[in-house]
């Protein structure tokens, strides 16, 4: 809302200098603030309500998880933040989404293009579908860099790409930059995709079930890399997942979503130590334990799942188990 | 069904498509009732009223031997539609079977069938039809045959591509693991998943078959006089442009209405059938 | 002898990718005991799905290996009775049911192919199978699109039951499902095994599921069996690095689980330092 922050959000794409400036002036300004987001879809025969007033925030450098089952509306929220939902015919969106203090409603297509892939970027579930098979990794990095700086030279882009690839533990970045996605393994593509999402030093990274298309060991690796990268680049993350275990490992703060409503929110440690909402409790009870104990008994959906949201107070010390 | 109507109603183009197709089909069916001069579909000569611009009761004018153009166009629709339906009824199943077999089996069957298809696809359709018509008598029946021979490979290609994708689906594996026969897998499991695309293509193709048949008649290779046909009417009238414009403009518009209508209907069908999930 | 329902004897499968040869399954020898749930675990690309396809007879094994069912060598071209004996539940219930056929038709196919029951009785049998997996019998007329993911997976299970097979290969049957749905489907699978005396080959990479459903575990890495053991023993003292890696990568939620996993992680790291390997 202060002019310099808004400026920072729009022009702050060329490097870390602008970004640090934005952080200093905007210490108290959330990277992302969603207030009372409502969404209805007008179908051919009826209108369905998908989101019943979602409010959530992501502070600078915070890792926030949105956890819920399929159909809960969690992916739709990501699309709304990226401004993709508003383009769908039949979608009726109400509520505010503020990104670094700037209201995103009514943004022009041009302004969106300066945000998407620059100040906010996204990692998808399946790496192979988001990398273009007909361009080399280097060409795709150049394309991404050009979104922030249209005049950037190929060589400069290559150097920057190589640097960030090294950060995701790719030992031969030059060889990878010359490769096509199909020449790399699934795990490697996943890392390339993370590096690419971070290429323009975004303020917010939205990760939709990253790595779940692969197996547990690759998923584990992916999460560690992502965590390291966002730590060193001080990026805020909105992490969308249905897997409670993954959320516990990754997030500082958790929002639990059920049928388009936030039912519980709070610091990650508090929620896992003391789940208060009936739905959160049911979700946790349903996960099979690696220590045994048999297959959990799972009840049907209960009316209590629609009870008002539980909010945990902030914890004094930041959490995380390194 | 309710959804289908809702989709059609929500799109102006779909409504226009349905309206035009209904116009064409009803004209063809009720030509005998609607046409002011039903006997003008045949060899009638009226030198008292020939080559006249539109006037009452010949609302689209008369042709060079004095026949009512409007009546002849209505009957020409009947010829065109019968031709298009017969062609598609022959070409579609041939192409579908070839495509299913080539897509489901690999090895010799696939290569033999698909190379055969490619041979037919590589010859320009009009050239193929013209050479067939050159060898055979230029009759309506042979015209249909010629168009059929050049039409089935498109269905083979379409169904082949869908089958290649569908046979990777879990339900095909499930049927195979159960021990179902290849015939069952092809015709009961995969074929139903090809039908939406095939129906859409058929709707689009009716327009194109009418167009190709008209082109053949325009070249003198299709329907023979005195049977009314849009292509030959345009060809005949073209010699008298621009003075006797009605001789070409009205049959030309009639072709346009039919082709445009079926294309819009095809697009609407694609929306309806493609969105059932 | 009666103890072993399925025997794999040095079963391999090589794929030719251009000039390269990839041995996806490499000389696997293993037994599946009657009535047990044997989990086959491994990372993606380890060859566990190829192994499933070899057991199902969808792929023929390389010459030299053999697969025996109740002592009888299974031919490469399976006969109808061999097909009836081994059934499959796939990972993705969205793809495993034909979107254009009713779920009743999908289940009934098994009855028709194997001539199970009288023709007139088959609709009733389909209904009974649906009820056995916890769905109303009148679902038979519905298309798969009208069902939720968990319901579809129940239909896929009903279809596998329809063949009256003794052995069911479960290929990641719950990894596409939400956690609450997953647990219900797992409970159903456990219940059906007890009621029908089924034998399961459960293919997965999810060790927390394995821990709660499998009797024995077979760990596969790069096409080879690297460790086999009873579930409890294998979790208490995993010996091969691959097993330890798989256990220590599992995302967990409880404090007890974290402690357990840290212990295995310690083992895995200690092993890396010793640069050794067992199994």
Q: Which CATH class is domain C4-274?
A: alpha beta
Mean pLDDT of A165-170: 90
HSE-CB at B100 with a 13 A cutoff on CA atoms is: 21
Closest-CA residue of chain A to C263: A291
Sign of CA dihedral B243, B246, B247, B253: positive
Write the CB contacts of B122 (distance below 8 Å, at least 6 apart in sequence). none
Contact call for residues C189 and C173 (beta carbons, < 8 A): yes
pLDDT in tens, B54-66: 888 888 888 888 8
Mean pLDDT, residues B240-253 taken together: 88
- What are phi and psi for residue A264, nearest 5 degrees? -155, 140
Name every chain B residue with its beta carbon within 8 A of the beta carbon of A45: 2-3, 6
CA–CA separation, C169 vs C160, rounded Å? 9
Cβ <8 Å between B177 and C87? yes
User: pLDDT per residue over A277-313, tens digit each?
Assistant: 999 999 999 999 999 989 998 888 888 999 899 999 8
Percent share of chain A, pLDDT over 70: 88
In a domain, residue A21? The reply is: yes
Percent over 90 (pLDDT), chain C: 79
Contact between B133 and B221 (Cβ < 8 Å)? yes
Nearest-CA distance B168 → chain C (Å): 9
The answer to whether the predicted template modeling score (pTM) of the entire model surpasses 0.90 is no
Token pair 């294309």: residue: B263
More confidently predicted of C253 and B134: C253
Question: Does residue A265 belong to any structural domain of this protein?
Answer: yes
The domain locations on chain C are 4-274
Mapped to the 3 state alphabet, what secondary structure does chain C carry? CCCEEEEEEEEEEEEEECCEEEEEEEEEEEEEECCCEEEEECCCCCCHHHHHHHHHCCCCCCCCCEEEECCEECCCCCCHHHHHHEEEECCCHHHHCCCCCCHHHHHHHHHHHHCCCCCCCHHHHHHHHHHHCCCCHHHHHCCHHHCCHHHHHHHHHHHHHHCCCCEEEEECCCCCCCHHHHHHHHHHHHHHHHHHCCEEEEEECCHHHHHHHCCEEEEEECCEEEEEEEHHHHHHCCCCHHHHHHHHCCCCCCHHHHHHHHHHHHHHHHHHHHCCCCC
Instruction: Write out the two tokens for C263.
Output: 């212990």
Is beta strand C66-69 parallel, antiparallel or unpaired with respect to C4-17?
Answer: antiparallel
In a domain, A120, yes or no: yes
Chain C touching partners, 3 or more CB pairs below 8 A: A, B
Per-residue exposure over B152-161, b if at least 16 CB sit within 10 Å of its own CB, e if not: bbbbbbbbbe
Structural domains in chain B?
68-276 (1.10.3720.10)
Chains with 3 or more CB pairs under 8 A to chain B: A, C
CA pair distance A205, A124, nearest whole angstrom: 11
User: Distance (Å, rounded) from C-alpha A99 to C-alpha A116?
Assistant: 11
The answer to whether position A252 is within a domain reads yes
Please give the pLDDT value at position B1: 67
C154 close to A (CB below 8 A) = no
Q: Tell me the chain C residues in contact with residue A243 when contact means C-beta distances shorter than 8 Å.
A: 179, 251
Counting the structural domains of chain A, the total is: 1
Check residue C274 and give its pLDDT: 58
- Separation CA C218–CA C41 (nearest Å): 6
Instruction: Residue A48: give its domain's CATH number.
Output: 3.40.50.300
Look over chain B and give the mean of its residue pLDDT values, rounded to a whole number. Answer: 86
- Which distant-in-sequence residues (6+ apart) come within 8 Å of A190 by Cβ? A127, A210, A211, A214, A218, A222
Q: Give the whole-angstrom CA distance, residue A221 versus residue A195.
A: 14
Look at residue A154 and tell me if it is in a domain.
no
Check residue B146 and give its pLDDT. 82
Residue A9: pLDDT above 50? no
Average pLDDT over residues A2-22: 39
Instruction: Check residue A19 and give its pLDDT.
Output: 39
Ramachandran angles phi, psi of C244, nearest 5°: -65, -40
Percent of chain A residues past pLDDT 90, beyond the cut: 51
Is residue A125 over pLDDT 90?
A: no
Asked if the structure places residue A64 within a domain, the reply is: yes
Judged against a pLDDT cut of 50, whether residue A21 lies above it is answered with no
Positions in chain C whose pLDDT score sits under 70: 1-2, 271-279
In a domain, A294, yes or no: yes
Peptide linkage before C219 cis (omega within 30 of 0): no
pLDDT at A202: 94
C256 interfacial to chain A (CB closer than 8 Å):
yes
pLDDT grade for B41, boundaries at 50, 70 and 90: confident
Strand order across the C66-69 sheet: C20-33, C4-17, C66-69, C72-73
Q: What is the pLDDT of residues C187-216, one digit of tens each?
A: 999 999 999 999 999 999 889 999 999 999
How far apart are alpha carbons C104 and C129 in whole angstroms?
10
Helix axes A154-167, A186-197, angle to 10 degrees: 120
Between A186-197 and A137-148, two packed helices, what is the crossing angle to 10 degrees? Answer: 20
- ipTM (interface pTM): 0.90
The tens digit of pLDDT for each residue in B158-210 reads 999 999 999 999 999 999 999 999 999 999 999 999 999 999 899 888 888 88
Residue A164 lies in a domain: no
Residues of C in contact with B193 (CB under 8 A): 98-100
Full DSSP string of A269-300: HHHHHS--SHHHHHHHHHSPPTT---SPP-PP
Q: How far apart are CA A194 and CA A239, in angstroms?
A: 13
Scanning C2-31 for CB atoms below 8 A from B yields none
- pLDDT, tens digit, for every residue of B203-243? 888 888 888 888 888 877 777 777 888 888 888 888 888 88
Q: Residue A244 and residue C213: Cβ atoms within 8 Å?
A: no
* pLDDT given for residue A14 in this prediction: 38
Provide φ and ψ at A58, rounded to 5°: -125, 115
What phi and psi values does residue B221 have, to the nearest 5 degrees?
A: -110, 0
User: Given its phi and psi angles, is residue C8 left (phi above 0), alpha (psi -120 to 50 degrees) or beta?
Assistant: beta
For residues B93 and C270, the model is more confident at B93
**A and B: number of Cβ contacts within 8 A:** 7
- Residues A200-258: tens digit of each pLDDT: 999 999 998 876 667 788 888 888 889 999 999 999 999 999 989 999 989 999 999 99
- For B82, the token pair is 């019968």
Burial of A150 (0-12, 13-18, 19+ CB in 10 A): exposed
pLDDT confidence bin for A187, thresholds 50/70/90:
confident
- Domain coverage including residue A289: 6-130+199-311
Nearest chain C residue to A250 by CA distance is C251
Is the Cβ–Cβ distance between B113 and B98 less than 8 Å?
Answer: yes
With pLDDT > 90 as the criterion, what percentage of chain B qualifies? 33
Helix, strand, coil percentages in chain B from 3-state DSSP, rounded to 5: 75, 0, 25
Crossing angle between the packed helical segments B170-178 and C103-114, to the nearest 10 degrees: 30
B16 touches chain C (CB under 8 A): no
B106 interface with C at CB cutoff 8 Å: no
Residue that wins the pLDDT comparison between A43 and C104: C104
């Amino acid at each position: 809302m202060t002019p310099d922050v808004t400026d920072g959000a729009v022009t702050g794409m060329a490097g870390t200098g602008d970004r640090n400036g934005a952080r200093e002036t905007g210490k108290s300004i959330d990277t992302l603030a969603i207030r009372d987001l409502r969404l209805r879809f007008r179908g051919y025969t009826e209108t369905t309500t998908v989101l019943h007033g979602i409010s959530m925030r992501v502070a600078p450098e915070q890792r926030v998880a949105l956890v819920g089952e399929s159909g809960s509306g969690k992916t739709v929220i990501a699309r709304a933040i990226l401004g993709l939902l508003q383009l769908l015919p039949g979608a009726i969106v109400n509520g505010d989404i503020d990104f670094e203090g700037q209201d995103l409603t009514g943004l022009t297509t041009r302004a969106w293009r300066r945000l998407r892939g620059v100040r906010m970027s996204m990692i998808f579930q399946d790496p192979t579908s988001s990398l273009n098979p007909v361009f080399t990794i280097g060409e795709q990095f150049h394309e991404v860099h050009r979104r922030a700086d249209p005049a950037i030279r190929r060589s400069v882009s290559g150097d920057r790409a190589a640097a960030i690839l090294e950060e995701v533990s790719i030992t031969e970045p030059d060889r990878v930059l010359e490769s096509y996605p199909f020449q790399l393994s699934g795990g490697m593509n996943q890392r390339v995709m993370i590096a690419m999402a971070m290429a323009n030093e975004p303020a917010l990274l939205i990760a939709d079930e990253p790595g779940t298309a692969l197996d547990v060991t690759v998923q584990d690796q992916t999460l560690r890399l992502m965590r390291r990268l966002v730590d060193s680049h001080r990026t805020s993350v909105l992490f969308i997942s249905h897997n409670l275990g993954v959320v516990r490992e990754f997030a500082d703060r958790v929002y639990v979503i059920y049928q388009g409503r936030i039912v519980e929110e709070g610091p990650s440690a508090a929620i896992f130590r003391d789940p208060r909402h009936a739905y959160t409790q049911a979700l946790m009870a349903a996960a099979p334990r690696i220590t045994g104990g048999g297959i959990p008994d799972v009840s049907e959906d209960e009316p209590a799942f629609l009870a008002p949201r539980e909010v945990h107070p902030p914890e004094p010390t930041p959490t995380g188990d390194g | 069904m309710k959804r289908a109507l809702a989709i059609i109603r929500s799109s102006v183009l779909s409504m226009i498509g349905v309206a035009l197709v209904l116009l064409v089909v009803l004209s063809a069916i009720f030509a005998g009732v609607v046409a002011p001069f039903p006997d003008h579909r045949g060899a009638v000569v009226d030198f008292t009223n020939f080559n006249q611009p539109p006037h009452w009761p010949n609302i689209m004018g008369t042709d060079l031997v004095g026949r009512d153009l409007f009546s002849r166009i209505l009957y020409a629709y009947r010829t065109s539609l019968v031709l298009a339906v017969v062609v598609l009824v022959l070409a579609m199943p041939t192409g579908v079977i070839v495509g299913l077999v080539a897509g489901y089996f690999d090895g010799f069957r696939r290569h033999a069938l698909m190379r055969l298809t490619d041979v037919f696809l590589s010859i320009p359709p009009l050239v193929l039809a013209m050479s067939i018509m050159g060898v055979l008598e230029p009759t309506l029946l042979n015209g249909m045959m010629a168009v059929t021979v050049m039409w089935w490979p498109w269905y083979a290609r379409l169904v082949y591509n869908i089958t290649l994708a569908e046979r990777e689906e879990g339900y095909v594996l499930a049927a195979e693991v159960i021990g179902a026969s290849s015939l069952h897998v092809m015709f009961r499991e995969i074929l139903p998943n090809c039908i939406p695309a095939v129906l859409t293509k058929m709707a689009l193709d009716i327009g194109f078959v009418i167009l190709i048949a008209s082109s053949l008649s325009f070249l003198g290779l299709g329907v023979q006089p005195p049977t009314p046909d849009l292509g030959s009417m345009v060809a005949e009238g073209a010699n008298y442009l621009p003075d006797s414009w009605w001789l070409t403009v009205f049959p030309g518009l009639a072709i346009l209405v039919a082709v445009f209508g079926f294309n819009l209907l095809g697009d609407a069908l694609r929306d309806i059938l493609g969105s059932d999930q | 002898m009666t103890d072993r329902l399925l025997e794999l004897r040095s079963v391999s499968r090589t794929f030719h990718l251009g000039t390269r040869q990839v041995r996806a399954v490499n000389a696997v020898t293993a037994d599946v005991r009657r009535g047990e749930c044997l989990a086959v675990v491994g990372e993606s690309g380890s060859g566990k799905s190829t192994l499933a396809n070899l057991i199902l007879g969808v792929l023929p094994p390389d010459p030299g290996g053999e697969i025996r069912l109740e002592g009888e060598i299974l031919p490469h071209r399976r006969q109808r009775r061999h097909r009836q004996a081994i059934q499959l539940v796939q990972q993705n219930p969205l793809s495993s049911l034909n979107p254009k056929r009713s779920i009743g038709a999908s289940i009934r196919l098994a009855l028709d192919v194997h001539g199970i029951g009288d023709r007139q009785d088959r609709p009733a049998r389909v209904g009974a199978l649906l009820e056995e997996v916890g769905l109303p019998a009148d679902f038979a007329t519905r298309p798969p699109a009208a069902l939720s993911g968990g319901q579809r997976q129940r239909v896929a299970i009903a279809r596998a039951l329809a063949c009256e097979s003794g052995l069911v290969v479960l290929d990641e049957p719950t990894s596409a499902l939400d956690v609450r749905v997953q647990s219900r489907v797992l409970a159903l699978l456990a219940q059906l095994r007890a009621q029908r005396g089924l034998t399961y080959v459960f293919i997965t990479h999810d060790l927390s599921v394995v821990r709660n459903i499998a009797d024995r575990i077979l760990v596969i890495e790069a096409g080879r069996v690297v460790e086999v053991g009873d579930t409890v023993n294998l979790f208490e003292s995993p010996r091969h690095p691959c097993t330890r890696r798989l256990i220590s990568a599992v995302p967990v939620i409880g404090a007890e689980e974290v402690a357990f996993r840290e212990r295995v992680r310690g083992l895995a790291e200690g092993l890396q330092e010793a640069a050794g390997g067992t199994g």
